[in-house]
Structure 1
Amino acid sequence: MTKFQPQNARELALTALERIERNGAYSNLQLDQLLKKYPLEDKDRRLATNIVYGVLQHKLTLEYWLDSFVDERKLDLWVKILLLSAIYQFHYLERVPNWAVTDESIKIAKRRGNPGIRKFVTGVLHAVLRKGLPALNEIKATSQRLSIQNSVPKWLVNELLTQYGEENTGKILQSINEPAHQVVRVNLAKTTVPAVKQALDNLKIEYHKSEIAMDALVITKGEVITSDLFRDGKITIQDESAMLAVESMHIKPADKVLDACAAPGGKTVQIATYLSANDGGTVEALDIHQHKVSLIEKNAQRMGVSDRVDAYALDARKVDERFEDESFDKILVDAPCSGIGLLRRKPEIRYTKQLADSMQLHKIQLAILNAVAPKLKKGGIITYSTCTILQQENDATVEAFLSQHPEFELVKTTTTRKVKDSRHSATLTILPSDFDSDGFFISSLKKGL
């Protein structure tokens, strides 16, 4: 890769997008790294962030539009990204003047490339502004149109159409391109919801209560991660739909709980909030990687619940190495999954996943459930959850487990606020379009007496 050094917001966004495309780097990590190395003023920082996430989110749409202006010419990666970024700004950033986008893009092409590239970029951008972008609603095939309109790969559109129907699929696809909310969970081990509300009011941070999770506040304006509230462990960042997995476990103070796939520990510390060390309540938290176990421990310390948390580096499929049968009252398997429910938060993963990944993950999920099942006491419940909405990893995994374990039965998942309680299924699926939250799946598997 060329030793190009970004000097402004658009150049930094170009560099981030090029590295994400070339190296498969996570967008948030790559962007954070570049912003630390090349600090920008707040306004420029927001612009760079907007461009990076916007181009990733709308990549297939932008590529469809660009294709009609470049005549199948093979472009250097950075040139293609520069043009996609400019088209994104033309179409989606109403407050940014087209002349400013054009001028800056041509300057970048001149600084980084040769006169021929500068001339080509100039010609394409002027043609886009002169002719306008091709209409997407003229694409005839439904799955192709939905794929291009929403920038979601065709295989995923087809799966959603099969599993949820055209109306629900349209709503899901539209919702995943909306901005992700920042949500905080109030840590009841250290404070109360009214106390946190008062502190947020004092900081002039705007918020509203979650309609689905009990201890959640949705932040609508302001930054909480740099606040004393966060530093002191009185709040933590956690999506409201993810909070429902632990909420649905109905944990009692003296419970012995296993969190089988725990890192980075968000649900572990949420479980610990409901436990009492004085009553013997503990949560054993496992992750396959030692460095992630350290994250769990740091999280527990910040949140003031480390006296109820024991974290180990252990593959959940090997729980026999550490725990005896019937050791736990409750078990959480928040399983490794495709993450399709997180597309608004991690837009790039839509382009790297394939249906075969879900089928492989299904096998891993089932192996974990099979391994932990003997560790549950009779009458106890395994809560199996994922952050995907694909049935191959959700209901299909639950059904496969139940077919192999007649001693278990599927019971209805319930939450404090009775989320989607009128549904027909025992399992609970939160679609991204239901509450503008992440997509999530929760099921409750009860072991017979």
Structure 2
Amino acid sequence: MNALSVAAAVGGAPTGADFSHDTWWIWAIKAVAILVFMLLSVLFAIWFERRVVGRMQVRPGPNVHGPFGLLQSLADAMKLLVKEDIDVSAADKIVYLVAPMIAVFCSLLTYAVIPMGPQVSMFGHSTPLQLTDFPVATLYILACASVGVYGIVLGGWSSNSTYPLLGSVRSTAQVISYELAMGLSLVSVFVLAGSMSTSQIVDSQIRVWWFLPLLPAFVIYVISMVGETNRLPFDLPEAEGELVGGYTTEYSSMKFAWFFLAEYINMLNVSAVATTLFLGGWRAPWPLTAIDHGVLNTGWWPLLWFLAKVWLLMFFFVWVRGTLLRFRYDQFMKLGWKVLIPSALVWVVCVAVVQGVRQFTHLQLSTLLYVLAGLVVVGLIVSFLIPEKKPEQRAAPVKEFDPYADGYPVPPLPGQVLPPSPRAQRRMAVQTATDATAPQVTQEVPRG
């Protein structure tokens, strides 16, 4: 309660980053540094994931090429680079080639507005550790993620094959569902921070990180970011057991590597957004800031805290992959539309009501929260007292179903029953003949 009031008070006047001293070559250095950082991070992330999952499955993981197997990712990248490039003859050539480029290009745009540190001295110029920022930077991040899915959709469609098309359609439905939940989870941050600028949101978390007062929104965002990046247990667009490889089935060599690269960069993107909006950005954790009175939040030290938080979330991705099984598609859609989106809407309304009451009335926040908690308890009690009307269950007529009626096998729908197999028919015929020829044994009833 007190954290929410303090955070709201702090978030009223965020300052943001100052780019007034930047020159064109400072921008170029920052852009190249971000590009190199993301490419090297992808190589490290692949090694990191394989090592962690290997430990979870009681096996070593990559440990041959280089110390601790660190060069294994580089060897895999070189293999894809020199591998034979095969084009699908029936594919739409232009779209088939452009699709992976769209996916990679859009994934590389997000870190342009991510603040990695405060003002630092770079070659004699004072500049923030951020390429750029503007008042709607968070909407820019969501827009880049939305456009990036066009690469997956066009890649599956242009392959002119069944399984890639199914994977691209799944990806479309997945992004629409979980982008809504993700966007709604971020609205409560905008309400408390009073801005959609990433640097100003970081400045609004001086005293408390937003994941504490906005814990439900943070949980919704974490679930949505796993679905947004097509990772287990939500990797349905590329499910190997169902769609061979999904939208990447008809891709090989570097075109496949671009899709692979875009997936890992998107993992870094959503981790950086969670760090910036919920985990204080580049600010040091509370015990350290209390000990050194803010010294660790100046200079180049904050870059270390930012990277530590991002890789903690990357470990969460790997942990989930090594722990959970893949969802069924209907379960996945039900989670998005019936759980995450309604929960995010309710939470946004609650946060907006609390902020509105606090700004336009003199009611204490603790009193308001007690009143809301009382209303929730009363609603739950009333819901238990209302008798539930059980629908009348009628036995559905069983229909025998011919799976080969259209010339190819089709699974039966609910209420339909497959005819017995030839083996079962023979077994039933033998059993019937045996029962017919068996002698009738009658038991005499003793007379009293």
TM-score (ref. length: structure 2): 0.21
Structure ranking higher in strand proportion: 1
TM-score (ref. length: structure 1): 0.21
Structure ranking higher in helix proportion: 2
